[in-house]
Structure 1
């Protein structure tokens, strides 16, 4: 990992450092647009072709049903089921409190306004399954969708080499009451859910993280169709702020945990101590070679870096510019700097709080904004799966109180019909 001294960096240098996952020549866009067009025009046939091309499997069907899901789920060991059950329960507990009814407010006598929740009718969940299968993502998306009460939940996940789904995915499907999973991944899955095919229903909103191709497909779909997306959630990233109270072994493990997601993941260390940075590098060299995904993690670490700062305030300044998906405060002083956090997807406090616990089982959602989108987006929650519709009711007293104000404002804007819609009511009340 290359090391930079924060004091030596110009504003331009920092902007270059915090930029990631760019597509300057639009090479990814060109590939994704071709995939979207093919799926839109050819439907299921295109999905079968892409399964053969990208997943190296000749599918006989584009989906697995209830019986096959049950058969696969039954193959799990008891301790594996228990771990998934624990994660399910914790995630559900955290998300259930997010669903609540708002109070009505009388803005002036006789004028009552309020909001009511309605679930998004049809949602599509993309569950990655390329270099790693992620049943945890299925939990993170499926649980809030169920709590919100979405009428139809369409699930897409890439097929395994045997043409089926992973057994862990199958077990989560049972926990969520999902009886069908569609065997397609990548940009083609996003396109299928956005436009619909002979087999896969069109949805109103698409959820789920993925690589740069999936992320690009989601952003294109959002701008060219009436299908919404949760957020641009692309290659994963972590930024660790550490001082001398941190444990080098822990920090190195956190950096590698993020790096093993994919070669385009990024792990950044911001530390108040050059000596500590050297200790972390030594730990990386010790821990990396024994990882099963060492090649993938190593490439990601090669594209990551360390920034040495003078103090924790400088560290937070850099972090807010980077706007990380995951922010770890590996310091005993974390309580003193949490109020300075402006941009972050999810935050992990103290030396014992690994980012991994949030990825799997603490309860918080791990579908988070990446590539600095944390400046404007929140992570997935129950709110992501509902619409908030405003209501208002005007009584006789209310039309008399608010009517004159509306008449004047309508006149100011030169909209006589707007004024008249109130005037005729005032005359009758």
Structure 2
């Protein structure tokens, strides 16, 4: 009797323990792994080697005076859509594995991490076909951001930055890319099944706040067995019909109903059967018509503080109407509740980036109030560069009203420490960030 999951999607924050779980499973005899943990002989499909190959390619190109293909000079993706490319690459590799004739009883493990800065898990799952999702079960390894940060620092080996088990991110990059997580929101509607692309996908959570994965052994074995037993039970009992009335185990013949589909069990989705990038991807470039699935978006954008528009007017290459159009486009089709903190890459430059990294106690930077902004800010006199990124923060007041708290050209940054809207929870992060970052100004305010 087969007791192994055919497809496990293993997700969590960076350094949550995903690779340690895989290492533990690899060391088990096949029979015990299948009988006790519901994982057969397995193949791991991880997006980190793909990411690392892109960085290596860009380093070669830059060294030879050629433009980078995937990343900017700061080591961030040049286009957030590349995160979606990675997910579709994972699926492509999965179908290749299936087509090569992987026998019954084997398991494929897809592994990745995602943060809200680049769309979160919801966007990642939206790129997977229903055919794949109907075969999948999800294991989420749960750790708080602080634990992810601690283990990321500890595991990094500068001699092996390409290693699955020993790679790491700089603190600033980890914070920007992965501090925000949408897992709680994604899983909040059902304690056992994730509603993904019309399929109810079983999931279970491995708690790892106490870092049971590093030591491994029997403590990990007991907890992992209990979690995977629960996941196996949910997978066996998974709904056999999708949430829209069709079979979750077969693709719909109607592309408008089924989203991404697979027309025959061993092949990846045909180009004609998937949604367009504009329809399917919430992180697609802004600047396109303000629609959500073909319908005009209907909601108001109200400014929490009108002084923000005045404070950033000199930094913008676009007017207020286009700022709101970009924000409206980014929000179209999203769930209209909760807080939103994100950055959108426009089709052309939107303004001049106003942020620069400075050293601690750097005498070139200073604290002062900017014109028309009545709080103290960390400032530096320097030249700005053009940027296609527009960062904005806000929250849904109700389904018809989005309150815009702040926006600016450039990448995300926490609230300023003297911002009256800052919470106690945000203050520690803000103090650390603004100690080493300053807002660019043309001259000291006293010289204006």
TM-score relative to the length of structure 2: 0.22
Which has the higher Rg, Structure 1 or Structure 2? 1
Report which of the two has the higher share of helix. 1
Q: Which has the higher contact order (CA 8 A, sep 6+)?
A: 1
Bigger fraction of residues in strand: 2
- TM-score using structure 1 length: 0.23
